[in-house]
Amino acid sequence: MRKIKYSILSLLGLVMVFTSCNDSGKKSRGALASNNAEKVYVAPGEQDEFYAFMSGGYSGNLTVYGLPSGRMFKEIPVFSQFATNGYGYSEETKPMLNTSFGFVPWDDSHHPDISQTNGELDGRWIFINGNNTPRIARIDLKTFETAEIIEVPNSAGNHSSSFITENTEYVVAGTRFSVPVPQRDMPINEYKGNFKGALSFISVDPEDGEMDIKFQILMPGFNYDLSHPGRGKSHGWFFFTTYNTEEANSLLEVNASQNDKDFIAAINWKKIEEYVNNGGGTKIPANYAHNIYSDEDHTAVSTMKKEVLTVDPTKVPGAVYFLPTPKSPHGCDVDPTGSYIIGNGKLSADLTVHSFDKMLAAIEGKKFDGEAYGIPILKFEDVLAGTVKSGGLGPLHTEFDGEGNAYTTFFISSEVVMWKLGTWEVVDRKPTYYSVGHLMIPGGNSRKPFGKYVVAMNKITKDRYLPTGPELEHSAQLYDISGDKMELIYDFPTHGEPHYAAGIPAELIAPKSQKIYKLAENKHPRATLGVNDARVERDGNEVHVYMAMIRSHFTPDNIEGIKVGDKVYFHITNHEQDFDVPHGFAMIGANNSELLIMPGQTKTLVWEPKQVGVWPFYCTDFCSALHQEMQGYVRVSPTNSNVDLTWSLGE
Amino acid sequence: MKKASVLMIIGPLLLLGLYFFPLWNIMLGAPQYPDPLGMNIHITGIKGVSEFDLQNIDGLNHYIGMKVIPKPEEMWEFTVFPYVIGGMVLLGVIIGLLGYMNKVSYKWFLGWFVLMSILGVLGMYDFNAWLLDYGSNLDPHAIIKVVNPDGTPMTYKPPLLGYQKMLNFDVTSLPHVGAYMMFVGMMLTVVAFFVGKKEAGKIKNT
């Protein structure tokens, strides 16, 4: 089919060449192509205009790209062990992956969202959810490192997360899978009416960003798919799409697709906040991990929390309503003014747009269409602002350019459709390659979108790049939206499976990006701040090596007196104070990763030597002209030997 | 002589800038240092342009066997220079005041300038001698030994003034604010001399 299209196109081209002036025809085509090339070309030494933070999906991490170049700058380890730098392998970072299930070395990261002040991106932190073992992470945008992870109890499939309110009062996490609350042994087919869907409001400390679960709303046992905050006039509300309002517990692809309409749940969180501040809600026993990493001692601490405050929504009148929305809506998006709530009914052709004003009027007029588990259902016609007759199929997610336009991805018809808020008319549509999931406009989930580009994140890559066997990276497409119509200007592969992304102008982040950690401020209890403090200490069969590294040697680099059966902790401090001079550390046979240690930082690797011999270690990051010389030896003696514990450098 | 004397007082006072601003600046840029490393030479010691520049310059220099950049207490100059400058400021101001009271002639103004110039040249000579020692008195066990085409060991003396390419580094050595203030101050004393001479001539003629 495509071949036929191309030949028709080329035929048309041929006709044009014959009927028009030869030269000018060629010229205009060339000029157009080079124009697009210039739009994405960031010359060597130049920098991109935007950062794009793409979720890693099943990589569990967050990747950092530049726009418009599509160049990848960094992979930030969040929920997954990262052998590249030792995250989740070093003693300092293992606690970051602690949960109520113990150490969980992987997750499925989904929806990054940048902190906001007054509804505008402030670039302090970026939050992202772990979908599988419900967790929310906060990444510090000064260091681009994961600073905090909080587990979300009573949740499963933490998918309608991690979206923030317009002053970063809360990062919100909703459950996709409803479960028994509290968890208990019960028949699966007694799901209906018994399972609950927990929507968690996690407060964010305005100073240091520290997270704390303020309350959980225990909703009926639907699937809470995606969510977005109200903004501007609708600030104080939060909207969640639901599916499986049928409450099926098996073969959901059929059984959860029967209702013509599911709901968007509208939550007046200000009202619930007031309710709990006045002593409302019920504290129930829980068990969830709260892990905090500190830049001062370069160490994470995991604390188990034992209680969570739950709220029964029927106990807070006027706080929760259901807005009927056709066909299992996925994305739940709110326009920059906060006037419209868009339900992307993924099994339909049309988009449903609800009006916030009409919703308030309907609530005022008590125009209810029954209730579900005590929660009032508003009449569809009373809250409907309009329907976008798209002509596409399978709408998933909508973002906004700040100029009155909305852009919606259509998974099934594989396209991005541009339409106008208010008139609901379709302005433009462009194909994606292929099967687009989510899309991102820098600031597109805030009061002040920056426009300029749409990034489409596709689920299927197929033939866009050179083939790499059955397993392919996903593909992103960049559209220029500065004109009246969208223009596809670039393709680039993305790592893992981005389910969403957050873009922000570089100038809001780049100047604050930290270059080194100051050694003088290193509070790690086992740091070696001066080379004279370098030493080796034995405590039973635990041996602690206090080691320093600088271009290009380790202090000490000869260690004797280690025995088979010892547990050796290498506490290594990088003494460099120069930008971009990390050192690595790798030990032969360590059942572990390497360490990559930034200037001024201390990290610890555990090595349990199993064989007698003299075993080398070395620096893994090419640090200087003498990098190859940056090595050392550990002598490992039999368990019962009496070789003295000694260490040295240059002797 | 009032105008001339006022200039003679202001001129030496400008030397006080040396207590607040660097005298000289040496910048070292390289492909891997797009933000160059730099040292500011004050009359009281050598400081890095950015917080860790000195440490990083020392770190690089150890490959070619250069000594670490001296601390203030390791060079007598950094103890003596502040007194010499202080003394010259005091002397200049006193001369200016005496001139104002017509106790000394304008010729003293030039005398101060000449003395200051001699001290300045001596200072530059001393500075250059230190640069020479710093750049050529290398550790025989240096990790990297580079030889000139004629087989003599390469030295790393930064230029006293101007630009020089040294291995991968572009080295630029220029006076800084303190030196410019000193230069202007000294020139003012020369102007004071000529103005004083003119005023003296006028008095004679009337």
CB contact under 8 A, B63 and A625: yes
Average pLDDT over residues A464-485: 96
Distance from CA of B16 to the nearest CA of A (A): 33
User: In this structure, which amino acid lies at residue A616?
Assistant: P
State how far the Cα of A501 lies from the Cα of A449, in Å rounded to an integer: 14
Q: What is the pLDDT of residues A80-107, one digit of tens each?
A: 999 999 999 999 999 999 999 999 999 9
Specify whether the CB–CB gap between A502 and A583 falls below 8 A.
no
Residues in chain A within 8 Å Cβ distance of B168: none
Phi-psi region of A254 (alpha: psi -120 to 50; beta: other; left: phi over 0): alpha
Specify whether A385 is located in the same domain as A523: no
Subunit contact B144:A625, Cβ cutoff 8 A? yes
Q: How confident is the model over A117-144, as pLDDT tens digits?
A: 999 999 999 999 999 999 999 999 999 9
Residues counted in chain A: 651
Chain A residue numbers with beta carbons less than 8 Å from the beta carbon of B56 are: 577-578
In a domain, A429, yes or no: no
Q: What's A297's domain CATH number?
A: 2.130.10.10
Which of the listed residues A389, A404, A419 is the one where a domain comes to its end? Answer: A389
CA distance A648 to A324: 73
- Residues in contact with A633: Cβ distance below 8 Å, sequence separation at least 6, in sequence order: A557, A558, A559, A614, A615, A616, A617
**Residue written as token pair 């992956």:** A97
Round to whole Å and give the CA distance between A539 and A553: 26
Q: Which residues of B touch A (CB under 8 A)?
A: 35, 51-52, 55-56, 59, 63, 143-144
> Residue A611's domain is classified under what CATH number?
2.60.40.420
Interface test with B, best of A553, A577, A598 (most B CBs within 10 A): A577
Task: Indicate the pairing of strand A135-140 with strand A261-268.
Answer: unpaired
B35 interaction partners in chain A (CB closer than 8 Å) = 579
Give A372's strand partners. A375
Report ipTM for this prediction: 0.86
**pLDDT on residue A8:** 46
Distance CA A163, CA A152 (A): 14
Looking at chain B, how many residues does it have?
A: 206
Out of B56, B63, B143, closest to residue A578 by CB: B56
Q: Which of A551, A577, A624 sits opposite B52 (nearest CB)?
A: A577
Write down the pLDDT at residue A33. 57
State the total domains in chain A: 2
Q: Give the residue on A whose Cα is nearest the Cα of B57.
A: A578
- Domain assignment present for residue A415? The answer is no
Cross-chain residue pair A516–B55, CB shorter than 8 Å: no
Tokens of A13: 């081209």
Q: Is A592 helix (H, G, I), strand (E, B) or coil?
A: coil
Which of A389, A418, A453 finishes a domain? A389
- Give the strands of the sheet with A50-55, arranged side by side: A72-76, A62-67, A50-55, A501-505
Q: What is the pLDDT of residue B205?
A: 65
Residues in B touching A625 (Cβ below 8 Å)? 63, 144
In order, the DSSP letters of A331-362 are EEEE-TTS-EEEEEETTSSEEEEEEHHHHHHH
Chain A residue closest in CA terms to B64 = A625
Cα nearest neighbour of B55 on chain A: A577
- CA neighbor of A177 nearest in space, from A141, A230, A144, A133: A133
Q: Could you give the CA distance from residue B41 to residue B55 in angstroms, rounded to a whole number? A: 15
Q: Do A577 and B55 touch (CB under 8 A)?
A: yes
Measured distance CA(A42)–CA(A49) in Å, rounded: 9
pLDDT at A561: 97
A149-185 pLDDT per residue, tens: 999 999 999 999 999 999 999 999 999 999 999 999 9
Lookup: tokens for B72: 């203030």
* A96: in domain: yes
Tell me the C-alpha distance between A575 and A148, whole Å: 26
Mutate to test the interface with B, among A518, A519, A578 (most CBs of B within 10 A): A578
pLDDT at A28 exceeding the cut of 60:
no
Q: Give the mutation candidate from B32, B55, B168 for the A interface (greatest A CB count, under 10 A).
A: B55
How far is the alpha carbon of A123 from chain B, nearest alpha carbon, in Å? 25
The C-alpha torsion from A479 through A480 and A486 to A490, rounded to 10°, is: -30
Token pair 């909207």: residue: A239
Q: What is the mean pLDDT of chain A?
A: 94
Long-range contacts for A354-359 (Cβ within 8 Å, ≥24 apart)? A354/A264, A354/A323, A354/A325, A354/A383, A354/A384, A354/A385, A355/A383, A355/A384, A355/A385, A356/A230, A356/A233, A356/A234, A356/A237, A357/A233, A358/A382, A358/A383, A358/A384, A358/A385, A359/A266, A359/A321, A359/A323, A359/A383
* Cβ(B155)–Cβ(B169) below 8 Å: no
What's residue A390's pLDDT?
83
Q: Return the number of CB contacts < 8 Å for A and B.
A: 18
**Of A551, A579, A625, Cβ closest to residue B59:** A551
Beta carbons of A577 and B143 less than 8 Å apart: no
Q: Which residues pair with A648 in a beta bridge?
A: A558
Subunit contact A578:B59, Cβ cutoff 8 A? yes
* Rounded Cα gap, residues A545 and A535, in angstroms: 6
| Residues A78 and A223 placed together within one structural domain of the fold | yes
Confidence of residue A17 (pLDDT cuts 50, 70, 90): very low
Average pLDDT over chain B, rounded to whole? 93
Q: Phi-psi category of A123—alpha, beta or left, where left has phi over 0 and alpha has psi -120 to 50? A: left
Report d(CA A499, CA A455) in Å as an integer: 12
Residue A494, sorted as left (phi over 0), alpha (psi -120 to 50) or beta, turns out to be beta
- The pair of three-digit structure tokens given for residue A143, joined into one six-digit string: 């260091």
Q: Which residues pair with A320 in a beta bridge?
A: A267
Residue B101 has phi, psi (to 5 degrees) of -90, 10
Interface test with A, best of B33, B49, B52 (most A CBs within 10 A): B52
| Cα A168 from Cα A208, distance rounded (Å) | 12
**Is residue A596 predicted with pLDDT exceeding 80?**
yes
Beta partners for residue A455, in sequence order: A440, A478
**A577:B144 CB<8 A:** no
Which chain B residues touch A516 with a CB distance below 8 Å? 52
Which span out of A14-23, A355-364, B67-76 was modeled with the highest average pLDDT? Answer: A355-364
pLDDT class for A10, splitting at 50, 70, 90? very low
Distance CA B88, CA B113 (A): 10
Task: Identify the pLDDT of residue B153.
Answer: 86
- Stated pTM of the model: 0.91
Show which residues on chain A lie within 8 Å of chain B, measured between beta carbons.
516, 550-551, 576-579, 624-626
Could you report how far apart the first and last alpha carbons of chain A are, in Å?
75
SS3 B39: strand
Query: According to the model, what pLDDT value does residue B206 have?
Result: 56
The answer to whether position A101 is within a domain reads yes
Q: Quick check: B55 and A625 CB within 8 A?
A: no
Which whole number is the average pLDDT over B37-45? 96
Omega within 30 of 0 (cis) for the link into A162: yes
Question: Chain A interface, mutation test: which of B37, B49, B56, B64, most A Cβ atoms within 10 Å?
Answer: B56
Task: Out of B52, B63, B143, name the one closest to residue A578 (CB).
Answer: B52
- Measured between CA atoms, how close is B126 to chain A, in angstroms? 31
Spatial contact of A153 and A308, defined as CB atoms under 8 Å apart: yes
Per DSSP, helices labelled H in B41-106 are: 53-61, 77-100
- Encode A385-418 in three state secondary structure: EEEEECCCCCEEEEEECCCCEEEEEECCCCEEEE
pLDDT band at residue A259 under the 50/70/90 scheme: confident
Q: By residue range, what is the domain housing residue A550? A: 519-648
CA A245 to chain CA mean position, Å = 27
Q: For residue range B137-185, list pLDDT tens digits in order.
A: 999 888 888 888 898 888 899 899 999 998 889 999 999 999 999 999 9
Phi and psi at residue A420, to the nearest 5° = -100, 130
Alpha carbon distance A62, B46 (integer Å)? 44
| Beta strands per DSSP E along A59-117 | 62-67, 72-76, 98-99, 102-103, 113-117
List phi, psi (to 5°) of A244. 55, 45
Nearest-CA distance A578 → chain B (Å): 6
Distance CA A619, CA B129 (A): 40
Report the gap between the CA of B153 and the closest CA in chain A (Å).
20
Question: Which amino acid would we find at residue A399?
Answer: E
What residues of chain A lie within 8 A of the CB of B59, using their CB? 550-551, 576, 578
**A contacts of B51 (beta carbons < 8 Å):** 577
Q: Scanning every residue of chain A, which has its alpha carbon at the shortest distance from the alpha carbon of B62?
A: A551
Contacting residues of B for A579, CB less than 8 Å apart: 35
Element (H, E) at A134: none
User: pLDDT (tens digit, 9 = 90+) per residue, A197-224?
Assistant: 999 999 999 999 999 999 999 999 999 9
Say which amino acid occupies A327: K
Quote the minimal CA–CA distance from B151 to chain A in Å: 23
d(Cα A146, Cα A61) in Å, to the nearest integer?
10
CA distance B56 to chain A (A): 6
Q: Where are the beta strands (DSSP E) in B90-168?
A: 162-166
Distance from CA of B44 to the nearest CA of A (A): 24
Which residue do the tokens 């040292």 mark? B39
Å between A87 CA and nearest CA of chain B? 27
Q: Select from A577, A624, A626 the Cβ nearest to the Cβ of B56.
A: A577
* Site of tokens 């772990």: A130
**Nearest residue in chain B measured CA to CA from A600:** B52
CA distance A416 to A419: 10
pLDDT for A26 beyond 80: no
Q: State the Cα–Cα distance between residues B186 and B121, nearest whole angstrom.
A: 13
pLDDT at B144: 87
From A365, A389, A413, the end of a domain falls on A389
Beta bridge partners of A603: A572
How far apart are the CA of A43 and the nearest CA of chain B, in angstroms?
A: 16
Instruction: Give me the amino acid identity at A586.
Output: A
- Phi, psi values for residue A269, rounded to 5°: -70, -25
For chain B, state the CA radius of gyration: 21
Within a domain: residue A337? yes
Backbone angles phi, psi at B54, to 5 degrees: -60, -45
Minimal Cα distance from A515: which residue of B? B52
